[in-house]
Amino acid sequence: MQDLRVLHLIPTLADGGAERQLAYLCEGLAAMRCPTEVAVLLEGSNLERIQAAGVTVHRLPSPTHRDPLLFAHIVRLIRRVEPRVVQTWIPVMDVVGGAAALWCGVPWILTERSSELNYLPTTLRVRLRDRLARRAAAVVSNSRGGDEYWKARLPARVRRQVIPNAVPLDELDTSERLREIGFGLRERPLVLYVGRMEASKNVDGLLEVFRRVVERRPCVALFCGDGPRREDIAAQIRTVGLGDRVACAGLVRNVASYLHRAAVFVSLSEYEGMPNAVIEAMAARCPMVLSDIPGHRDLVGDAAIWVDGSDVEAVAAAVEGVLDRPEDAVARVEAARRIVDDRSIAAAAEVFVALYGEVAR
């Protein structure tokens, strides 16, 4: 396996789902002694985890992904590192990094983290990515929705494979329950959201849900995550005077502690691939109220309470039902945990290493 060197290309190591999955994968590959290197434009919160696994991280000299020299920088790095396989993450790197791998004659794996709705309306970059992918060695999706997107776009010679997101089961199981919520919130039952603060996650609708629930029940609510909607959501919380009952925490280091502390986890996304926050809530045995979308249904089955994410009052009532009758969630949380029990970091790494070997040959 020592000659099976893999180079991963990703724009940043910030706190996104793809970035976190790459960090988990690097840990698993390092444990299997699969030589692994990562190239980025910008570092971020996942850098420490990747470096702790002993994986080399290269900082590409381009200031942004729009740098016309980025392609040349990646080509130069590929020729220096001499990987047997190049794997790209995030559409912008699929385009530039995928083209560079093809130019260098190195087998290329495209990593799909979302589904078709994420690519509407179709842009020039999306069309270029679709066209380049026809020359990839493989496309790995983390969900059925992602695989369906590529099924209609790839020739039969391009391998398609679904590899679900890895779950840090040991880390989740050993994390202690959060002792104090903080962020100015009262010590009451916690309603929790974890994920990107962006429009597609319907965080604005979720804020209205939180407002109704904390006004009608003795509980508090917390947004954990960063993104373009964070500052505006925080401003709305201050404006309506909910600061002691609803808060925006931003990025938190130990999400598992919050999940263990939460009475209910809520996600109202409009679309998803395979959301990290949901699978970690499943592993932590946290009761869930989720928007009824394919990305959630395919993952969770009957192990959550399903809601129309656009119906604020129905969502609030569902959350209140979990708070009022926690015993009703026991069977659901155990069923959710069983679903993810075989999705450890080590298991995911084994599947990827097998794929790398086949692609390299």
pLDDT of residue 15: 86
Which H or E run includes 303? Answer: none
Residue 242 has pLDDT above 80, yes or no: yes
Confidence band of 300 (pLDDT split at 50, 70, 90):
very high
Please give the full DSSP string across 23-48, using - where no structure is assigned: HHHHHHHHHTT--EEEEESB--TTHH
Report whether pLDDT(330) > 90: yes
170-340 homologous superfamily: Glycogen Phosphorylase B; (3.40.50.2000)
Task: List Cα–Cα distances, 345 to 2, 97, 139, 276, 350, in angstroms.
Answer: 20, 25, 20, 13, 9
Q: How far apart are CA 147 and CA 334, in angstroms?
A: 28
Model pLDDT, residue 170:
93
φ, ψ for residue 215, nearest 5 deg: -80, -20
- Taking the C-alpha atoms of residue 129 and residue 153, their distance in angstroms, rounded to an integer, is 11
Instruction: List, by residue range, all CATH 3.40.50.2000 domains of the chain.
Output: 6-166+344-360, 170-340
Mean pLDDT confidence for 146-168: 96
How far is CA 43 from each of CA 79, 174, 281, rounded to the nearest angstrom? 22, 28, 27
Banded pLDDT at 121 (limits 50, 70, 90): confident
Closest CA to 217 of 327, 326, 328, 324: 324
Residue 2 pLDDT class (50, 70, 90 cuts): low
Indicate the DSSP class of residue 164. Answer: P
The CATH number of domain 6-166+344-360 is 3.90.1150.10? no
For residues 15-36, b (16+ Cβ closer than 10 Å) or e, as one string?
bbbbbbbbbbbbbbbbeeebbb
Total-model pTM: 0.92
Chain segment 9-34, per-residue pLDDT in tens: 999 999 889 999 999 999 999 999 99
Q: What does the mean pLDDT of the chain come to?
A: 96
pLDDT in tens, 53-79: 999 999 999 999 999 999 999 999 999
Average pLDDT over residues 303-318: 98
Sign of the four-CA dihedral 239, 240, 243, 248: negative
